Homo-oligomer: A and B are copies of this chain.
Amino acid sequence: MTKEIRVGIAGYGNLGRGVESAISQNKDMTLVGVFTRREPKDVQLLSEQVPVHKLDEIESFTEDIDVLILCGGSKNDLPEQGPALAKHFTTVDSFDTHAKIPEYFAAVDEVAKEAGTTAIISVGWDPGLFSINRLMGESILPEGETYTFWGKGLSQGHSDAVRRVEGVKAGVQYTLPAEDAINRVRNGEHPELSTKDKHTRECYVVLEEGASADQVRETIVTMPDYFADYDTIVHFITEEELRLDHAKMPHGGFVIRSGNTGKHTDQVIEFSLKLDSNPEFTSSVLVAYARAAYKLQQKGDTGAKTVYDIAPGLLSPKSPAAIRKELL
């Protein structure tokens, strides 16, 4: 039997908790420890079997961990942790500040190549699975257009903006793909669509006592940058309804490539996700790519990688012969 892949988690928020849960679904992996900047005794894992350590002691665990999954944020944690930890561990992360990917890749690549580790960056669904589908779409259908739609999904920034409106006690905001735009794309039209053409925004608001619903609605839908340019729908609900129906973090979206072959033959490729939990799904993608990172490092293929460098077969716990026989 192949030995189990020993995984560590650096950072234990929604993403880290999702990774812990995902590892328990993968029989070829074992979680050997969680590393945190908080006091270890204050961190409550899902499993009582797994030890929690201080992140700044992680270097003494290099012999115990095959792959370290970095669950910090892209803004403040990963730019520093990515290169620092790739010096000692084969890593996977979900760095998603799009504009800074080239610079982050270069920083991690230099360290990882020197250390002989493998670091797969920017893993998840966007960047990640959506990126793969954008690339495959344009490579297979060079004459065409690619459309990415996001939603239905909970947006933190827009939910915060709603909650800052006077008279709002609590609330959440969802981004929804515009059905008519999706249908135009699916039907083989190649419309030019801005982000606001492609999406609508839906708010669920609990009012402060005595607040005016009309005034709150008006303030929201006319809010510059956030809502004014979009079709925005505002629903008023009770605190009870908010707690019961809007506690999850759903998300999803569509990547559609609409292209032509031959004499203007329409061909449409569509990839979509309908996720009841955004962080749990991202975590599951990270864990599958952790397996790939381990395999690559084992065969000496080191340095920084992205999803574009990962052959699909590396994601599976099954042998190449088994996947050809069972899944091809």
Using a CB–CB distance below 8 Å, which chain A residues touch chain B? Answer: 18, 21-22, 25-26, 98, 101-102, 105, 122, 127, 129, 131-132, 134-136, 138-143, 186, 248, 261-262, 265-277, 280-281, 283-285, 288, 291, 306-313, 315-317, 320-321, 323-325, 327-328
Q: Which chain B residue has the least Cβ–Cβ distance from A26?
A: B142
Q: How many copies of this chain sit in the oligomeric assembly?
A: 2
Q: A327 vs B288: C-alpha distance in the bound complex, in angstroms?
A: 21
A284 CB contact (under 8 Å) in B102, B261, B268, B291: B261
Measured CB to CB, the closest approach of chain B to A49, in angstroms, equals 18
In the complex, 10 of the A-B residue pairs with CB atoms within 8 angstroms, ordered by the A residue number, are A18-B262, A25-B143, A26-B142, A129-B269, A138-B316, A186-B274, A248-B265, A307-B312, A308-B320, A311-B311
Q: Does B261 contact A283, Cβ atoms closer than 8 Å?
A: yes
Q: Which 7 A-B pairs have the closest CB atoms?
A: A308-B313, A261-B280, A139-B315, A268-B274, A265-B277, A265-B276, A139-B288
Q: A102 vs B325: C-alpha distance in the bound complex, in angstroms?
A: 6
Measured CB to CB, the closest approach of chain B to A195, in angstroms, equals 15
Q: Which chain B residue has the least Cβ–Cβ distance from A95?
A: B328
A139-B316 in contact given A324-B101, A328-B98, A328-B101 (Cβ < 8 Å):
yes
Q: Which chain B residue has the least Cβ–Cβ distance from A22?
A: B261
A328-B312 in contact given A143-B25, A272-B270 (Cβ < 8 Å):
no
Q: Does B261 contact A277, Cβ atoms closer than 8 Å?
A: yes
Q: Does A313 contact B186, Cβ atoms closer than 8 Å?
A: no
Q: Does A271 contact B271, Cβ atoms closer than 8 Å?
A: yes
